[in-house]
Each structure stands twice: as structure tokens, then as C-alpha cells.
Amino acid sequence: MRYTRFVNIQDLQIEILDTTLRDGAQGEGISFSVQDKLGIVRALDDLGVSWIEGGNPGSNPKDLEFFRRAEALDLKTARLCAFGATRKKGIRPQEDPFLKALLEAGTQGVVIFGKSWDLHVTEVLGAALDENLAMIAETVQYLKDQGKIVIFDAEHFFDGWKGNPDYALGTLEAAASAGADRLVLCDTNGGNFPETITAGVRAALSAGSLGIHVHNDADLGTAGSLAGVLAGCEHLQGTLLGFGERCGNAALAAIIPSLELKLARRCLPVGNLERLFEVTRRVAEIANVGAPENMPYVGSHAFSHKAGMHSDGILKIRPSFEHIDPALVGNRRRFLMSEVGGRAAIAERTKKLDPAVTKDHPAVRALADQLKTLEAEGWQFEAADGSFDLLARRALGKYRPLFKIDAYRVVSEHPGDPGISCCYAWVKVRADGNQEIGAAEGPGPVNALDRALRKALVPFFSNFDIEKVRLTDFKVRVIDGKDGTAAKVRVLIESTDGLETWTTVGVSEDIIEASRAALVDSLEYKLISVIERRFKGLF
């Protein structure tokens, strides 16, 4: 059965402005170098957004350097815009150094924010209400006279509209009368409900072409943004992955698919929605953060199925437990291996090893029983795809051990000087009837063991690129805390060779032994993958 397409895309175009490089950079733990920002611009341009807000050139030298270097970028679809405030009170726009920096950025568009909440005008800005209106109008007029496309962000619009609707709407009229191309209504505190967004947008429709900018402080960033578009906004601002001040901005990767697939609003060039998953990973990697696993549409959990009933339903009728085809956003379906997963999910996961496998195959039955036993002992395979692959190979009789560790030793030394330590490891490995010993040191026991194991394996597998394998994540979980420091621990290791990423697991009362088991699975998974690519049918 095919998925039902909710709508047909029509000529209802939504202009997307991504502010990851400006608003997103204000999020805790987010810091971009100039090179990072250039890389994110390329990624967002590949996705096909309309505008990329590059930063505030008047606030720091790094943003000035970014705009200087960005002039050399050959962008296909996106246009850059710089961000700044209206002129300061008491001076002309021509005399404002921040507006001068904004123009020096050399972008086609500029985003200007102004106060639309009378509370902010009088208590924060310390200006008269009429003076603020003049600041907005004169700034917009000045920038239009310089040939810029001007996007006016009405800061705190919805809070201002609730408190003094006439004044909030007056700020929009001041910007529109001076020639602003877009009037963006901002829920800057992120606390307004969708019905307030809807009513505020409808009240402002006569002012001009509207946009929506919502923060996520009440977990309503997506809902508020969609409400704004449905009420008449033609321009949408957010950050791709939801980075931003406090609880973040509305996440475009969670909003754009709903707009395109369910609300008949085109946001990206035709065919580009399928790149969404890949681009979110690129941006997360550049930002040095993990993409949220439970993020709608593009998270790794978005199309993951664990319960046996769900997995069985998906295999029979795809839309039974999925609201869209994951391929539409470049994601993929995952069946999680666990004691509640059911034989249908296990069979589906093992089909890549043996296409003839069904849920009634003896090996699948045996594997289901083994999963229940192992998970009762603390093992967990739903996030350990590499270890599950090896487990399934053994059950299907498609496994041949490539090497065996005869013995290993790890020693940690800690001199009296705090913070100074050194760890040593040696590993004795047997393969093809021969034996090799590898020894190494490292700042920690797992690192030393990993390096010693690779040294021992290289003579046997010198052209298998195991030196390219690197650890990208290492998690330790105490399985049952009642045993204190004698409790079993579960170690999950995520590895990559630069092309593929996989995860393996180990369990033991000894954290080093648990790490060893996960490391061995990781390297063995890599070796088997290389062999199968080069010599089809060997495994």
C-alpha cells in the first residue's frame, strides 16, 4: 500500500530565512568560527533556503570577516542578509556606526529589528513612543535608499500587540510606509499560544507582506510558526535544527516538511526536500553537536520501530505506523532490536544477510530468544547495529571469526602530580594460525587498549583501512546501581571510517572488559564490511 499524499504542492510559496548563523549562534554551547559559518552557508544553499542571515556585522569582528569572505561564495539559491538594529535615538541613520557596518557587509538584504512593545520602548530603550516610530521609519528609508531589500523584524510583536495593539500595529505601519519589503512578527519570548499567533497575524494582514519568527520557550515553536503561515504569513524564519537563545528557535527541519507535504506550501526548490536529512547532519557536524535524535522528520528516532506490533504492521502496510514515507525527507526506516521487537522486525533486519529469511525461520526464532536472554543480562542492541549484525551472522551460520584475542593487559599509572596519568596496554592476537602482539600507551585505558589492538591487527589486515576507524562517541551506563561500584556496566561505542558510522556494545562488571568487547565488535564489523565489498559472498 502506498502512502497517501496529503496535498498537492501548488503555487503557494513560503520564503525561508535561516538564522542559524545569527540567532542560532546565541544558543548555549554553540560557537562558530568563520570557516564554520562558510560551511553552513554552503549546506543551507544546497538545501535551497531563500535567505541566510549571516550575523550582526556591528557586534563583532568575526562577523565582519565572515561577510568579507562570503562575497567569494557562488551561491545557487540563497541570498545573504546582515542583521542589525534601528538607528540609535538622537542621531541620524547616516551617523549611526552600526548601520554603517551593516552596509559594509555588502549583502543584498538587511534585517532590521525594532521595538514593537511599548514596554520595551519606554522601559528598556528609554525612548518616547513617537521617537521609536521615527527610528523605525528613518532606518528603513535610509537602507532602501541604499538599494537594500529590507526585512523588518517587529521584536516582541505579539506581547506588544496584547498590551497595546494600536502601537504594535503602528510600528508595522511605520516600517511599511518607509518601504520595508517584509514585516516579520516576532514571538521573541516564545511564550504565546498558536491562537494568539493566529489572531495577531490576522490583525496585521493589512500592513503588508508578513513573516513569522517564533522562539521555543513554551515548546510551541513549530505550532506557532505553522499558525502564522496558515494565518497569512509568506515568510518564515527559524534555525535549521532549532539552535537559539534560551530554549531555541523554531526548527525549520521540523516545519518545512509539514508545510510542503501537508499544507501545500512550497518552501524549497523541487526535489530538495529529500536532502533535508543529509543537510541537517552536515550542519550539526559543523556545529559540533549531535542532531536531536527525537526530532520530527529528520531525527534518527523519527521512523524507528521497536514494538513488535508496530514492526509487524509496518511490514504489512507501510502507512500503518508512519505518517509519511521517510524517503521524502531523506531519512530511513529503522527496526530496533530488543526483547519487545518481535520476530518480524528481526527478520526484516537480517534480510540483508539472507533475503530468504522470514519471521518463522529457525535462526530468527533462536535470535529472538537470544535477544531476550542477553537483554535480561544488561545487553542492549537497539542502538548497537554493528553488534547486532555480528549476532545475526552467528545465528544464520554466516560468521567466520577473523581474529581472536588470546590475552591482554591494561596498566594505569598515576604519579603524585594531579592531572598527570599514563596508561599502557598490550594485546596478543591470533589470526590464520599466527600470533601478533601489539603494545601502546595512551592518556586513558580504553585509548591505550584500542591503539594496542590495532597495532596487533595491522600485520594481518594491512590493506583494510582499520587505521581510518575512529571512535566518535563513548557511553557508559550502570545497569543496576544497587551493586554500587561492583555493578555491571554497558559500554556503547560509536565508530566511523569517514564513510559509514556504526555502534557496538559490551557488558561486564569490568568497564575495561566491556570496552574491549565493544572495540572488538567495532573492528570486526569494519573488517567484514570491507571483505564483503571486495569479495562478494565470502560471508
The alpha-helical segments, DSSP class H, found in 207-358 are: 221-231, 252-262, 276-287, 308-316, 343-350
* 274 has a pLDDT exceeding 80: yes
Q: What is the model's pLDDT at position 538? A: 54
Q: What is the model's pLDDT at position 310? A: 52
What's the CA gap between 487 and 481, in Å, rounded? 6
**Comparison of pLDDT for 503 and 81, the residue scoring more:** 81
* 480 has a pLDDT exceeding 80: no
Mean per-residue pLDDT for 424-432?
94
Q: Domains in the chain, please, with CATH?
A: 15-266 (3.20.20.70), 304-376 (no CATH), 377-399+468-539 (3.30.160.340), 403-460 (3.30.160.270)
Mean pLDDT of the chain: 89
The alpha-helical segments, DSSP class H, found in 330-484 are: 343-350, 362-376, 385-396, 445-457
Q: What angle do CA 27, 126, 176 make, to 5 degrees?
A: 75
Contact 439, 414 (CB under 8 A): no
Q: What is the model's pLDDT at position 368? A: 83
* 300 has a pLDDT exceeding 70: yes
What's the CA gap between 214 and 245, in Å, rounded? 11
pLDDT tens profile 307-345: 555 555 555 665 666 788 888 999 877 666 554 456 777
Contacts of 2 (CB under 8 A, 6+ apart): 318, 319
Give CA 287 to chain center in angstroms: 9
Contacts of 8 (CB under 8 A, 6+ apart): 264
pLDDT tens profile 83-136: 999 999 999 999 999 999 999 999 999 999 999 999 999 999 999 999 999 999
> Order of strands, edge to edge, in the sheet holding 470-478?
470-478, 489-496, 501-508
What's the CA gap between 84 and 87, in Å, rounded? 9
* 232 has a pLDDT exceeding 60: yes
